């Protein structure tokens, strides 16, 4: 099997449609995050986010977050996801859907919280906070790893970046 470490995963876009899919998914999810944070999850939004929205422009927040987005994609998608998929394929002796799905779930629910441990430790936990983290950040990580699997690493990066291009201005506008 071709791709990174014989996984079939690719660095580049999988097709000419992949950038469009990534942009659409990212923009839509970023909009969902902003709407959710200003409505359903408003009481669970961390103070650090409230302060950032109040004190910095959307452009300043985007510029500040993009290096972290790129690093997250390298660590969580390129390294963790690729490594886990390769391991699952090796253990199974062949490629199968669970060789991708199980690592996707592990990266979103285990690797991401470990990577962002300081953020998770700083939260004031409640049922609403748990639902917010699952509905926004865990789901986002599942989307980005799905984009990587189906559309290539650049699609995951594009989608994640696009989410912030929708999220940050909408947070200011909806606040």
Helices (H) and strands (E) in the chain, counts: 10, 0
CB neighbours of residue 96 within 10 Å: 12
Signed CA dihedral, 169, 107, 22, 130: sign only: negative
Structural domain boundaries, residue 131? 25-174
Sorted by sequence, the CB contacts under 8 Å of residue 41 that are 6+ apart come out as: 128, 131, 132, 135, 136
Buried b (16+ CB within 10 A) or exposed e, 15-27: eeebbebbbebbb
The string of pLDDT tens digits covering residues 101-116 is 999 999 999 999 999 9
Confidence category of residue 132, pLDDT binned at 50, 70, 90? very high
Give residue 49's pLDDT: 94
Is position 16 within any domain? no
What is the full DSSP assignment across 39-78?
Answer: TTTGGGS-HHHHHHHHHS-HHHHHHHHHHHHHHHIIIIII
Is position 80 within any domain? yes
CB neighbours of residue 110 within 10 Å: 12
Is position 11 within any domain? no
**Number of domains, the chain:** 1
Give residue 159's pLDDT: 98
Is position 65 within any domain? yes
| Mean pLDDT, residues 73-88 taken together | 96
Give residue 2's pLDDT: 78
| Mean pLDDT, residues 129-146 taken together | 97
| Mean pLDDT, residues 85-100 taken together | 93
Helix (H, G, I), strand (E, B) or coil at 158: helix
Is position 14 within any domain? no
Is position 127 within any domain? yes
Token pair in block for residue 17: 């449609």
Confidence category of residue 5, pLDDT binned at 50, 70, 90? confident
* pLDDT over 70 at 1, yes or no: no
CB neighbours of residue 134 within 10 Å: 12
Is position 13 within any domain? no
Is position 20 within any domain? no
* pLDDT over 90 at 53, yes or no: yes
This prediction's pTM? 0.93
Please provide the distance, in angstroms rounded to a whole number, between the alpha carbons at the two ends of the chain: 49
- What's the CA gap between 116 and 125, in Å, rounded? 15
Give residue 3's pLDDT: 82
Give residue 164's pLDDT: 98
* Percentage above 90 pLDDT, the chain: 91
């Amino acid at each position: 099997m071709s791709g990174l470490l014989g996984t079939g995963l690719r660095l580049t876009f999988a097709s000419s449609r992949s950038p469009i899919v990534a942009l659409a998914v990212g923009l839509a999810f970023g909009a969902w995050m902003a709407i959710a944070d200003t409505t359903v999850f408003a009481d669970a939004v961390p103070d650090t986010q409230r302060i950032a929205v109040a004190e910095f422009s959307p452009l300043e927040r985007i510029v500040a977050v993009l290096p972290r987005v790129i690093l997250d994609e390298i660590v969580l998608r390129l390294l963790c996801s690729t490594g886990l998929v390769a391991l699952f394929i090796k253990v199974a002796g062949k490629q199968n859907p669970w060789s991708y799905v199980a690592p996707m779930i592990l990266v979103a629910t285990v690797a991401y919280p470990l990577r962002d441990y300081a953020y998770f430790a700083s939260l004031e936990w409640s049922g609403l906070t748990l639902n917010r983290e699952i509905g926004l950040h865990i789901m986002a990580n599942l989307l980005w790893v799905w984009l990587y699997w189906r559309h290539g690493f650049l699609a995951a990066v594009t989608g994640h970046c696009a989410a912030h291009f929708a999220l940050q201005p909408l947070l200011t506008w909806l606040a």
